[in-house]
A and B are shown apart, each in its own frame.
Chain A
Amino acid sequence: MKIVQTLTSHWRPKLACLLLATGLWYIIKQNVKQTPEPRAWPDPAAAMETRR
């Protein structure tokens, strides 16, 4: 009962924070997906060879 009361008090800012957190999480997740892992980057020596 107390947990429900704690959760429902000031519900508007709490809900806004939850929505904001979901949006933020989604954006970060998208960015993480798009950024390649360092291992996936080409070897610098190989890249130099290609440039030559």
Chain B
Amino acid sequence: MAAWEFLQDNWKSGVEILILAVVLYYIYKYLRGTRGARILIGLALIFITLTFISQLLDLIVIGWILRSFSVFLAIALVVIFQPELRRALTELGSHRFFGSAFESRETIEEITDCVFALAGKGFGALIAIEREINLRSVIETGVRIDCDFSEELTLTIFYPKTVLHDGGMVVSNDRIVAAGCIFPLTQREDLDRTLGLRHRAALGVSEESDALAIVVSEETGQVSICHDGIIERNLNVENFRKQLSRLLLFETHEDRSNADQPLEA
């Protein structure tokens, strides 16, 4: 009976704590592995411990400092988490449910053939496929091309002795827009140490925009796809085609006849 009365009196507090805990957990999940996460954990621990002590012992000066500091802390958090906030806002702004297909089925087949031809020849490659958010800032760092997508041209661009082979290539609306572009690098620290700059750049561009980035490893010839800050490594032709269709044409696995093969991420 006493427990029931306690519940009746305090259920709102319980709901509040639960909501707070869920919000904190999702913030932790979102920021896990980033450089900012450690700073946030450190700041939160110091702030909460000091506030708790100052409340408990009624320390007026410490309480005043903490209250004054909290204003600067809000501004500092925006600066520290600028990349993460940008990514979150980008994700909020782009709803795939209402989107249209970005590339044609033929281009997907061409890209698949081209990527595996690059892998077969042992050429490293980095290709970003633009979706709703334009990659103007990335395109401006490279050399504008603007021509139809073709396997021959892509192989030529990524041939190891050409000037443009080191940068990334941007594809938009079935066309090669630019090559030799510099992509932003991811700041994540929980990545496999074997991942090179090319993979980090692919992850970076997929974090900062809704673009799809394809990486062909120069060392191993493995093909990976990065989207929404996620990397799917070591894809075979079939899985690569499926993923590309799913991400660019919004086709589900059930839409295709050969849908029974699991994805190797």
Chain B min CB distance to A39 (Å): 22
Residues of B within 8 A of A18 (CB): 17, 21
**B-facing residues in A1-52 (Cβ within 8 Å):** 13-14, 17-18, 20-27, 29-30
In the complex, are the beta carbons of A21 and B21 less than 8 A apart?
yes
In the complex, are the beta carbons of A17 and B17 less than 8 A apart?
no
- Report if A25-B55 is in contact (Cβ < 8 Å); known contacts: A13-B28, A14-B25, A20-B48: no
Chain A min CB distance to B244 (Å): 31
Q: Would you call B13 an interface residue if the criterion is a C-beta within 8 Å of the partner chain's C-beta atoms?
A: yes
Residues of A within 8 A of B106 (CB): none
Chain B min CB distance to A3 (Å): 14
Residues of A within 8 A of B52 (CB): 23, 26-27
In the complex, are the beta carbons of A27 and B48 less than 8 A apart?
yes
In the complex, are the beta carbons of B25 and A25 less than 8 A apart?
no
Interface string of B70-100 (1 = CB under 8 A from A): 0000000000000000000000000000000
In the complex, are the beta carbons of A17 and B25 less than 8 A apart?
yes
In the complex, are the beta carbons of B51 and A20 less than 8 A apart?
no
- Report if A17-B24 is in contact (Cβ < 8 Å); known contacts: A27-B55, A30-B55: yes
Residues of A within 8 A of B13 (CB): 25, 29
CA distance A26 to B18 in the complex (A): 13
Q: Would you call B197 an interface residue if the criterion is a C-beta within 8 Å of the partner chain's C-beta atoms?
A: no
Looking across the interface, which residue of chain B has its beta carbon closest to that of A20? B24
Interface string of B34-53 (1 = CB under 8 A from A): 00000000001000100110
Chain A min CB distance to B245 (Å): 30
CA distance A29 to B14 in the complex (A): 13
CA distance A23 to B48 in the complex (A): 7
Chain A min CB distance to B59 (Å): 13
In the complex, are the beta carbons of B51 and A27 less than 8 A apart?
yes
CA distance A20 to B45 in the complex (A): 9
Residues of B within 8 A of A21 (CB): 17-18, 20-21, 23-24
In the complex, are the beta carbons of B24 and A25 less than 8 A apart?
no
Interface string of B143-167 (1 = CB under 8 A from A): 0000000000000000000000000
> What are 16 A-B residue pairs whose CB atoms fall within 8 Å in the complex?
A13-B25, A14-B21, A14-B25, A17-B21, A17-B22, A18-B17, A18-B21, A20-B24, A20-B44, A20-B48, A21-B17, A24-B24, A24-B48, A25-B13, A25-B17, A27-B52
Per CB-CB distance, the 9 closest pairs between chain A and chain B, nearest first, are A21-B20, A21-B21, A17-B25, A17-B24, A18-B21, A17-B21, A25-B17, A27-B51, A21-B17
- Beyond the given pairs A22-B17, A23-B48, 7 more chain A to chain B contacts, judged by CB atoms under 8 angstroms and listed by A's residue number, are A17-B28, A21-B17, A23-B52, A25-B13, A25-B17, A26-B52, A27-B51
